[in-house]
Amino acid sequence: MEIRYNEKLKKLPPYLFIEIDRKKKEAIDRGADIISLGVGDPDMPTPEHIIKSMQEAVAKPFNHQYPFGAGLLSYRKAVVDWYKNRFNVDLHTDEVCALIGSKEGIGHIHLGFINPGDIVLIPEPGYPVYNTGTIFTDGIPYFMPLLERNGFLPDLSSIPQDVIKKAKLIFINYPNNPTAAVAPKEFYVKLIEFAKKNNIIVAADAAYSEIYYDENDKPSSFLEFPGAKEVGVEFHSLSKTYNMTGWRIGWVCGNKDIVAGIAKVKDNYDSGVFQAIQEAAITALSSSQKCVEDARKIYKERKDVLVEGLKKIGWEVSLPKASFYVWAKVPKGYTSSQVVSKLLEDASIVCTPGNGMGKSGEGYVRFALTVGVPRIKEALERISKINW
């Protein structure tokens, strides 16, 4: 029997982080002592009080049935309260929908709002799923370069009018993956004005909002700004904030009609988020946030060690304000892919090529702060011995 893949599947590039994980496993099989600074998966365990909550919730028979709908009312209320406490944003529970991780919602929003031929405005370098969803719905991606000279912000004024006329959706992501940039308040004001004027839905990916390094300069939520709820939604996740990547729990919130569209897609694609996980997520959102503060301190120490170490070796690196990534320029004379290969082959270090997340990422590599300080110091020692 000849197996023929859907034409849309053929258009997909290899999923970057699966490829990185494959290369890492191949090196481990060869006996290499790998230091993995590639995939953004927290190495710290989920806090104990969240695990205990899950253990209690999973024993409840009520939670063993289909969790249909937009999520437990108590979970959506916890999200509402969290947004009020963190961003002073007022939400209603019908403006929140539980997600099986924010990735799921980011991938599904296209199904609710993109028709064949519609344009999706996508930041690049950026999270691959923004484009994947576009391909699956026969949309047309228009990539907005994130350049250092623009503070790694998309230049909305440079988008051609013929593109704007066909655009239905724009993705933004701050704190940014992979550049670690934080958007200033003026950007959000301009973005909302742009979206209103051109009737374009804003999809804000805020997965890294709680990993920041200055208490006096916390990242903003898109929904903090006047008019935001009229034009868009924000995706959030417990994955990075509470070290819960494997739990698959997040949410989308904001414009009621956009949230309802995503919820309708979900009703036809899945049966909701396991309620025991929702109960554990309520504990995470509504309990003391000391565990999040502690994680920030750990990431800050790692970030400082890696950035200062790379600078001493001669690499050009900007100090991240947020996220657990370091976006570093590659040594002169090398491409992103060449540096990644050299680091793996000569130093058994895994990192992410900037161009793997978009052509504007060429000339950079991304390091994830997902190993402890001793391993980061070991990585720096290995890098310093490479003959560039």
| Phi and psi torsions of 204, nearest 5° | -95, 120
353-375 pLDDT, tens per residue? 999 899 999 999 999 999 999 99
**CA 278 from chain center: how many Å?**
20
Which tokens sit at 57? 């919730």
Instruction: For residue 121, name the pLDDT band (cuts at 50, 70, 90).
Output: very high
Instruction: For residue 16, name the pLDDT band (cuts at 50, 70, 90).
Output: low
Instruction: Report the distance separating Cα 167 and Cα 228, nearest Å.
Output: 18
Which of 111-115, 217-221, 323-327, 384-388 is predicted least confidently? 384-388
Instruction: For residue 15, name the pLDDT band (cuts at 50, 70, 90).
Output: low
pLDDT at 180 exceeding the cut of 90 = yes
pLDDT at 191 exceeding the cut of 70 = yes
Which tokens sit at 29? 């099989």
Instruction: For residue 256, name the pLDDT band (cuts at 50, 70, 90).
Output: very high
pTM: 0.94
Peptide bond connecting 178 to the previous residue in cis, omega within 30 degrees of 0? yes
Determine contact, residues 316/332, Cβ cutoff 8 Å. no
Element (H, E) at 310: helix 290-313
Q: What letters, b where the CB count within 10 A reaches 16 and e where it falls short, cover 40-58?
A: bebeeebbeebeebbeebe
- State the average pLDDT over residues 316-326: 94
24-75 pLDDT, tens per residue? 788 788 888 999 998 889 999 999 999 999 999 999 999 999 998 999 999 9
Instruction: For residue 13, name the pLDDT band (cuts at 50, 70, 90).
Output: confident
Q: What is the overall mean pLDDT for the chain?
A: 95
Determine contact, residues 323/315, Cβ cutoff 8 Å. no
Which tokens sit at 294? 């502690």
| Phi and psi torsions of 327, nearest 5° | -105, 110
